[in-house]
Structures are given as structure tokens and as C-alpha cells.
Amino acid sequence: MTSNGASRQIKPDPCSFIIFGVTGDLAHRLVIPALYNLAQSKLLPDEFCIVGITRHKMADTELRESLMKGLRKFATRPVDEAIANRLLGCLSCIDADPSDPGSFDRMATQLEALEKSRKTAGNRLFYMATPPSAFAPISQQLGRVGLLREDNGYWRRLVIEKPFGTDLASARALNHELLKVADEHQLYRIDHYLGKETVQNILVLRFANGMFEPIWNRNHIDHVQITVDEKLGVGHRGSFYDATGALRDMVPNHLFQLLSLVAMEPPARFDAHAVRSEKAEVLAAIQTQSEEEALRNSVRGQYLAGRIGDTDIEDYRKTKDVRPESPIETYAALKLTIDNWRWAGVPFYLRTGKALAAKRTEVAIKFKQAPFAMFRDTPVDRLSQNYFVIGIEPAEGITLQFNTKVPGPAIAIDGVEMKFLYKDYFKVEPSTGYETLIYDCMIGDNILFQRADSVEAGWQAVQPFLDVWKNLGAEGLEYYQAGSDGPEGSAALLIRDGRNWRKPS
């Protein structure tokens, strides 16, 4: 999303793309397939090289083969051999391990030599596709050997994957470490939700149309629901997940991206500073809840064995690398409020979980009911709900639900839908969702990346829930069957306010 509105035809500057964690899942599944899509769309610089950093020596050819295999498996478009060979042909492997500082000195020398031969002009994009525990040690070493210094007009950028911290204190500490070696403008904290078209479209929808803003507030909106339901269970990620849980994994990052775009004030300009300031502002306005409030306004669940489609799912606690008595939630639902003039009194209900009946990601904005019962045979509370739904999964688009008269002599009312689907209007090339983010990083546009203050504001808002759940352990954890709609308490969280989660039509 170029903030100056320019088309996506600009070629990024020559640069080296240096991947830490290149032998891992993320590099194989997303980063290289995204680079391939950019290469196919002719959006990579002409002078470009990929440098894979491994902890143990590996031959260039071995790494190329492994990444090529990954590309064939995970590519979102048919793989053109010539393009793939050209892309991976410019890959070299360098070994460096942050626990051996000398290896970073050697790496710096090798990298500089490589840059000369590849003519990448000294611009560097460091991509940390590593486990989070490596973010700080790697960046410290990069800083120490001077690889992040922006001199002679070169740029040096650092992409940091999620999870960014595990709570407020660790996120602050990580920001502190990173900011010791790089300036905020060099840091690109990635959240792949911002690579999704519909998520970016929330900004355009709200601020490029005059008709939504006048009703986008507490006078007209009853409440907002944000749902990220997943069908998949935890699978092979037991060890990560059992130290993380649904709340940490999804809420301060992905769900809060959706919330901040929906709830932010209009930025004065469409540039990274203005947009990111408004996003941080609204996250900071989420009311910090007391322990009692956090307990009352949250539900957590864990899945039990069940069947989803034709797949049997075992109990979460039987997953490999999960503790047999784990208190970790695989489902979280929260009620939040935002303390500002636009949203005072408008609840934001958030829910996310694994092993549910269907994959569904959406923001549903529920408008207030018509104020009185003019149609005597259809009392106000029986009129269908007025929802404005921003759909991200399974289909990207926007739906407006409203009431209409059923044809015939009597006044009978029924709810109908007006639907816009991206795929009907635009020819969209299948993508990994990372292309926009990687491209933006190469052209130096950080509008879609998270700034330190919004990451911390996000953790601040969820910290009371983390604290109260930690103190309770497994007490209060609800169990739900895999393939169901989640724990009963989640429905009850809205029912007690006289509301319901939206049911897709």
C-alpha cells in the first residue's frame, strides 16, 4: 500500500535480502513463495540477492534445493522454472550464530564482498524468520558489527516477525533492545493481517467514502464484533502454542489490527506517521480492566476431541508437546470498551479459537435498531439485524444486512443482504499475503507495519486478562468439542448484554 498513492510499478532500490531462520518453516512456506510472486510480477529490483543465514555451514546448492522444494509445495501460482531458477540462483548461504560473535564479524565481511559482486549498492533488508528468542541477540550482533548503520545514503531495514513479546514487559524490553541498535524508521514489525486486501480496504472504505463516517460512531452503532474462527487444531505447533495460547497468539496483534482500523480517528494525511499515530491512539484508549472486570468480561476455552469435516481431532491436551494438564486456552472471547468520544458505551466483542466448526474471519458492525415499532405486525426486536460486515475469510468482501418488504399486499418484513465480493469485481492473483509487506519494506513504506507504541498499547490492553487467567490456572477454563462453535460462555458473554454473535447467512 504505497502511502503516496503511487501505482505498484516502482522498482525497489537494489538490495540484499538477508533471511535469518532460512531453513525454517516460515521462510519455506511464505517468504520465498512471496519473493517468487514479486519476481513474477517484476517487482523485485534488477540488482538483488538473497542471503540465507544458517547456524551451521551449508552449501549454497543444498539450501537452494531445499527452498526450491518449499516453493514447489507452497507456491500460490504455477511455478515458472526460469523465474524460480533466476530467483534462487541469486541465493548464497552464510553461517552465523549470535552465540558466537566472531561469526557475525565474518558474516559482515562476506556480506560486503557479496554485495559488491551483486551490485546491490549496500541496501540491506534483514528478515528475522526465527523463533522470537533470537530477535534480540541477532539484532544486537547486527548492531555491534555495524551492519545496521545507515551511512552513505544506504538503507538498512529490519523485519521482525510476530510474536513481538509475550506480555507488556517483554514487548517493552524487546523494543528497548531493538532501539539500541536501530532507529524506529528502520524497524518493520510485521503482522500478516495487514497484508490482506480486505484489511487494507478498511482504511479506504472508511476514508475514501463520504457516506460511512457520519454514522460510524456511538450514535448509530450498537456494538462491534470481531471474529477469527479457525478450523485447524494446534497440529505440530504444540510446544509454541502451549507456551502461548489463543489470546497472545491472536488478540494483541491480528484482532487489534482489525479493531484499530475500524475504530481509529481519520488521520490528517495518508502517511505512515499519521496513520500509525491514530492506530496507536485508539489502542491506548482501550479501557484497562481491573482483575474483576477482566474476569467478568472474558471467556476462555480449550478443545476436546471431535470431528471437523472428515478429520478427527484429538483433545488439545493430547497434542504432541502439550502438557497433559495444560491450562492454556485454545479459544478466547473478550468484551472491551474504548474510552473516547466516538466509542464511549459501544462494546467491542472479540473472539478467536482453534478447532471450530468453520474458518471465519470478519468484523461485524451492528447498527442500532429502528427506534419504534411502526410496523405493528413486526415488533422492533423481531426486525432482522442491521449489520455491516467486513468479511476476510472465507471470502473477502463487504455485506450489508437490512430489512425489506416482502412482495405482496400485506406489509411483511424480511432481512436481505447486499454483497460485494472482491473476486467478482477484480482479478486478484493468488498471493501468500506477504507480497505487499515485503514490497513495502523494500520501497521504505512502513504504513502497514506496527510501531513500538501500538505494540505496547496492544499488550497493555490484554495484560489484565493474561494476569487473571494465569492466577486461576485451569480454573474457569471451559471445554468445547472440536468442530463446535466454541464454549457456551462465549454466547453468554453477549446474551447477558441482550445481544448475540452474528450467525453467517
For 182-187, which contacts have Cβ atoms below 8 Å and span 24 or more sequence positions?
182/139, 182/143, 182/148, 182/156, 182/158, 183/150, 184/451, 184/452, 185/446, 186/148, 186/150, 186/155, 186/156, 186/157, 186/158, 187/157, 187/158, 187/160, 187/449, 187/452
- Position 44, amino acid: L
| Minimal distance, residue 360 CB to ligand BG6, in Å | 10
Nearer to ligand BG6, 93 or 258 (CB): 258
Shortest Å distance, C-beta 226 to ligand BG6 = 12
Query: Please, what is the minimum distance in Å from the beta carbon of residue 302 to ligand BG6?
Result: 15
139: nearest Cα among 178, 186, 183: 178
The residue (of 162 and 335) whose beta carbon lies closer to ligand BG6 is 162
Concatenating the DSSP letter of every residue in 292-345 gives HHHHHTEEEEEEESEEETTEEE--GGGSTTS-TT----SEEEEEE-B-STTTTT
| Closer to ligand BG6 by Cβ: residue 74 or 375 | 74
> Catalytic: 254?
yes
**Looking up cell 520501497, which residue turns up?**
443
Burial of 260 (0-12, 13-18, 19+ CB in 10 A): buried
Smaller CB distance to ligand BG6: residue 361 or 484? 361
**Cβ nearer to ligand BG6, comparing 229 with 281:** 229
Whole-angstrom distance, CA of residue 261 vs CA of residue 259: 6
Least distance in angstroms from the C-beta of 167 to ligand BG6: 16
**Minimum distance from residue 213 beta carbon to ligand BG6 (Å):** 28
C-beta of 197: minimal distance to ligand BG6 in Å?
12
Give the active site residue among 28, 192, 223, 254: 254
Which residues form the interface with ligand BG6 (CB under 6 A)? 162, 228, 230, 249, 361
Q: Looking at beta carbons only, is 154 or 501 nearer to ligand BG6?
A: 501
- Taking the C-alpha atoms of residue 380 and residue 370, their distance in angstroms, rounded to an integer, is 7
Residues 6+ apart with CB under 8 A from 502: 225, 227, 362, 364, 366, 385, 387, 389
Closest residue to ligand BG6 in the complex (CB): 249
Positions annotated as catalytic residues are: 254
